[in-house]
Amino acid sequence: MESSSEKDPMESVLSSSSFEKDRHVKFLQMMYQVLPYNYQTHEINRLTLAYFVISGLDLLASLHFIDKDAVAEWVLSFQAHPSDEAQLNNGQFYGFSGSRTSQFPPDDNGVLVHNGSHLASTYCALAILKIIGYNFSKIDSVTILTSMKNLQQPDGSFMPIHTGAERDLRFIYCAAAICSLLKNWSGMDKEKAKEYILSCQSYDGGFGLIPGSESHGGATYCAVASLQLMGFIEDDIISKNWSSCIINVPLLLDWSLQRQASDGGFQGRANKDSDTCYAFWIGAVLRILGGHKFIEQKSLRGFLLTCQSEYGGFSKFPGMLPDLYHSYYGFTAFSLLEESGLNPLCVELGISDIATSEI
């Protein structure tokens, strides 16, 4: 028999027809101070978790609750630096580590024998710094971009770390976002990256993470947002001469719209349950294409509200407890729905329009 102190997660869902901004701000404030023990297994991605918190507060127009100087100092402490210019050609990537657990001190000669710099962590670090208004002229962007070229492979794809790892569209996106944030495209061969992206578009119009793989909402976002950032496709493609576009726009639009399920939410792949985060991954693709006007917004909003928790934040599915990842993408989804009191979203960079105003 269930004890009186135990609570069914279903009861954490708010029976509300409104977006509870104040609860969400308090949820993020709590995460800013101390992460619950459940996040111990995510320690290596601490910078990513911080990105969800800081960018979430920015979208909720509540960035005044954080100490921007302290945040900047903390984020910058994760950047790896070569001991001299010659090290830039040693094959390593000198970006940002994801946490202290992946950050190692240099040896007695100042050489980083164990360099845990990661593309995703570097994107998150730069996004945070952009959000808080840090002066990017103080960032050693030359080191980041010069060494980032070491990660691009002959086929145009990127590895996330220099020691060898999986290669897929996620890391092309991170590289493109890094170059866009730093306003310098010397860190990648855009033409090679474009060809790899195009090889990932499937027969059904969506994009898989690698050539020949199943179309997926997250991979499709990475493909479309990267092409937009690199200048290969325009915003609102479907209102223009989409027949000359380098991607198959009609198939992509059809595939994306089919991801909205009967419950109003978006699924990441065919025949999967609706999931809060895909309201962003697919919704952002449709916004770039100009197809967001075809979304059933009322039913999408209704689905998202079933994932809104009484504790603040959003869960993956209705009836589950909230987590930072799905909470953040719940906030971005409501920003795309133009919820009152939220800052508008720059969909291709995943941060607020206000943060990108000086890019």
Q: CATH no. for residue 265?
A: 1.50.10.20
pLDDT for residue 11 is more than 60: no
Whole-angstrom distance, CA of residue 300 vs CA of residue 310: 19
Beta bridge partners of 323: 314
> Which residue, 39, 51, 44, 49, is CA-closest to 98?
44
At 314, phi and psi to the nearest 5?
-130, 150
113-128 burial, b at 16+ Cβ within 10 Å, e below that, comes to eebbbbbbbbbbbbbb
Structure confidence by residue, pLDDT tens digits, 271-281: 999 999 999 99
Boundaries of domain holding 150: 21-103+113-357
**Phi-psi category of residue 197: left, alpha or beta, with phi > 0 → left and psi -120 to 50 → alpha:** alpha
- Is residue 195 one of the residues assigned to a domain? yes
Whole-angstrom distance, CA of residue 230 vs CA of residue 245: 14
Cβ partners under 8 Å of residue 136, min gap 6: 129, 130, 181, 182, 183
> Whats the size of the chain, residue-wise?
359
Whole-angstrom distance, CA of residue 314 vs CA of residue 316: 7
- Is residue 252 one of the residues assigned to a domain? yes
- Is residue 7 one of the residues assigned to a domain? no
For residues 109-133, average pLDDT: 87
Structure confidence by residue, pLDDT tens digits, 172-198: 999 999 999 999 999 999 999 999 999
- The reported pLDDT for the residue numbered 9 is 46
For residues 92-119, average pLDDT: 78
- Is residue 201 one of the residues assigned to a domain? yes
Q: How many domains does the chain have?
A: 1
In this prediction, residue 82 has a pLDDT band, given cuts at 50, 70 and 90, of: confident
- Is residue 316 one of the residues assigned to a domain? yes
Look at the pTM and tell me if it is higher than 0.85: yes
Alpha-carbon distance values, 186 to 150, 182, 356 (Å) = 12, 10, 20
- Is residue 251 one of the residues assigned to a domain? yes
